Chains A and B, each alone.
Chain A
Amino acid sequence: EAQVTQNPRYLITVTGKKLTVTCSQNMNHEYMSWYRQDPGLGLRQIYYSMNVEVTDKGDVPEGYKVSRKEKRNFPLILESPSPNQTSLYFCASSTRASNEKLFFGSGTQLSVL
């Protein structure tokens, strides 16, 4: 089954404790992206990747890191989480960002205390 798998689904952590949210897709998509969703602000892009070893900042990259060492995986890293990073996070992939359907993961609800 074609899918984007995110883990964990829920995560509660404390300020400053490094964490990684994993994202994996089995569709051989070149394009992968991370979004955060906050009430009243909609989906905002954090980072995206057009292919292996190619990553670029989205609209809200501060406080986040990503890597794309393999085509299927695109982890989101928070080196020192802060409470303002409490949010619902989505990973997505597609063959291209332009006119191809975006497949989303199920989301990760992160709470930073």
Chain B
Amino acid sequence: RKEVEQDPGPFNVPEGATVAFNCTYSNSASQSFFWYRQDCRKEPKLLMSVYSSGNEDGRFTAQLNRASQYISLLIRDSKLSDSATYLCVPWHNTDKLIFGTGTRLQVFP
């Protein structure tokens, strides 16, 4: 089983829609979780950090389910500018950050 698994997508949604991605992780010792956003061929940028059960920032909500070992990212009222790839990153007390392969979101007018 891969350490981090994400549905590659693409998720094609209209503007204004609500969309959710899941990310499953295999290491139950993972303590912190991050969602990064990456535009095509650009550098990843931190979107959200999740240290406990979840986090909310405007239209974005991240939720953690430790029992089932997954984290989700919910985007409400999707904008065209939300089109990007979203990378999931669980961390567990090492010097390595293992990135998921990402989920691609395409928001259309």
Interface residues of A (CB under 8 A from B): 31, 33, 35, 40-45, 48, 50, 56, 58-59, 88, 90, 97-99, 101-102, 104-107, 109
Contacts and interface: CB of A to CB of B under 8 A. Distances in A.
Given A90-B43, A104-B43, A106-B42, A97 B51 contact: no
Contact of A102 (B42, B46, B93): B46
20 contacts: A35-B99, A40-B8, A41-B101, A43-B87, A45-B96, A45-B98, A48-B95, A48-B96, A56-B95, A97-B94, A97-B97, A98-B91, A99-B32, A99-B51, A99-B91, A101-B46, A104-B43, A105-B43, A106-B42, A107-B43
Taking residues whose C-beta sits less than 8 angstroms from the other chain, chain B's interface range is: 20 to 34
Nearest to B97: A97
